[in-house]
Structure 1
Amino acid sequence: MPSPFPGMNPYLENPELWPEVHSRLIIAIADAIAPQLRLDCKSRFQLFCYLYVEVIENR
């Protein structure tokens, strides 16, 4: 059965299954292209961390 989401893989997009895949992939790509960049260019990435807190109130 073809993916219902062309261009993406829902399995890889699930952060519970692959929590670090995006960060590690971006870093690996940045490291791979760095030697090919001009001297006045840099490969950089930015990491965002999201924190979900569930508040349970005592009633």
Structure 2
Amino acid sequence: MGIGPGGIILIIILALILFGPKKLPELGKAVGHTLREFKSATKGLADDDEEDKKNKKQDDL
């Protein structure tokens, strides 16, 4: 039950009405920057978890 093509079109139309065509590129850039930061932060957390698992395995040996 995802969003169909009609729903996507409706969301785009509402975004254009609410923010206007001049603000949408700025909003897209801000969202992209935020997602990039979130991805790098979660990658760092995942790397820390794997390092902890390796250290625990070495301690168990």
User: Normalising by the residue count of structure 2, what TM-score does the alignment of the two structures yield?
Assistant: 0.31
Bigger Cα Rg: 2
User: Larger RCO: Structure 1 or Structure 2 (Cα < 8 Å, ≥ 6 residues apart)?
Assistant: 1
